[in-house]
Amino acid sequence: MDEEIYLRALLAAQELKPQEERLLVRLKDTVQARLSRLTGSPVFYYAGSFAKNTIIRERFDLDIVVYWPPDCGYTLRDIYTAVGKVLRAWRLGVTPKTVAWHVPITAGFYIDVVPGRAVDNTYYYANLYRRPGSWIQTSIKKHIKTVRDSGRCDVIRLMKLWRVRKRVPIPKSLLLELLTLRGCSGCRFSSLASQMNAALEFIRDCIMDARIEDPANANNIISDEMTRKQRLVARLHARKALEARTWNAVFAPRPATI
């Protein structure tokens, strides 16, 4: 089979079913209804792969942003704590993450809720509470636009599928997306195979020293969240993928270890 046909078929199989998309919409509406009971008139929108058009059916979640207005009078810690209290009253097993609350829905599927306070009335930038006691400024809307408008969504989806099936330890989807964009810089858009090879080559050749900045705030170094061990393992997987003789081998699920 032609490699482009094979890769397009992989992508087609990773499209969400209509009922799965409707589930995400219903869950967002449910979270919004519960958190809207908090004072301060927060604003809600989709984030993550659903908003960026990079979602894959094999493994996906839902990211929701909830921002309070800049003049709400609440501290970032107050906002973060209040959101967690409401979510924990709704679902069992809700746990804090660095800047989000992790809400399990079913086995393997969860919602991440990111609370924050908008910098101004555009709600484009926001300050987020960062556990255990600091804060960061970023723009999730900038993240969405950077990825969604890049023209690379298809190859990003393939890279996400590779990461899932080979269990490649690149911890953040945004980091994988930005690594892919960096690797594909200058690569023609018409060939998925060329873009995949370029992204994998970048990880193989550059991951050990790559410095990936938050496109919304150069002070946030996203690549710092990867340990040296994770970088070594990711480099190894990229090298194996580039040495594979077929795309089927690149995307074959990695056997489970006992």
- What does the pLDDT read at residue 136? 96
Q: Check: CB of residue 139 under 8 Å from CB of residue 34.
A: no
Q: Domain 14-139 has what CATH class?
A: alpha beta
Q: Indicate the burial class of 228 (C-beta count within 10 angstroms; 0-12, 13-18, 19 or more).
A: exposed
Q: Predicted confidence band at 254 (pLDDT cuts at 50, 70, 90)? A: confident
Q: How far is CA 11 from the centre of its chain?
A: 18
Q: Check: CB of residue 170 under 8 Å from CB of residue 226.
A: yes
Q: Check: CB of residue 39 under 8 Å from CB of residue 88.
A: no
- What does the pLDDT read at residue 103? 96
Query: What average pLDDT does the segment 149-164 reach?
Result: 98
Q: How far is CA 243 from the centre of its chain?
A: 27
Q: How far apart are CA 189 and CA 184, in angstroms?
A: 9
- What does the pLDDT read at residue 139? 97
Answer yes or no: is pLDDT of 1 > 60.
no
Answer with the residue of higher pLDDT: 106 or 31. 31
Which residues lie across from 70 on neighbouring strands?
none
Q: What is the largest CA-CA distance in the chain?
A: 60
Report pLDDT digits (tens) over 34-66.
999 999 999 999 999 999 999 999 999 999 999
Say whether 46 sits in a helix, a strand or coil. strand
Q: How far apart are CA 24 and CA 46, in angstroms?
A: 10
Q: Predicted confidence band at 6 (pLDDT cuts at 50, 70, 90)? A: very high
Report pLDDT digits (tens) over 192-235.
999 999 999 999 999 999 999 999 999 999 999 999 999 999 99
Report pLDDT digits (tens) over 64-113.
999 999 999 999 999 999 999 999 999 999 999 999 999 999 878 899 99
Which residues lie across from 65 on neighbouring strands?
45, 114
Distances (CA, A) of 184 to 160, 193, 229: 15, 11, 24
Q: Which two tokens stand for residue 135?
A: 């804060």
Bond before 132 cis per omega within 30 degrees = yes
Q: Check: CB of residue 66 under 8 Å from CB of residue 114.
A: yes
Q: Predicted confidence band at 155 (pLDDT cuts at 50, 70, 90)? A: very high
Answer yes or no: is pLDDT of 257 > 70.
no
Answer yes or no: is pLDDT of 258 > 60.
no
Q: How far apart are CA 187 and CA 60, in angstroms?
A: 27
Q: How far apart are CA 171 and CA 176, in angstroms?
A: 8
- What does the pLDDT read at residue 107? 77
- What does the pLDDT read at residue 143? 97
Domain boundaries, the chain: 14-139, 150-251
Q: What is the reported pTM?
A: 0.94
Say whether 118 sits in a helix, a strand or coil. strand
Who's near 147: CB < 8 A, 6+ residues apart?
52, 54, 153, 156, 174, 177, 181
Q: What is the DSSP letter of 60?
A: -
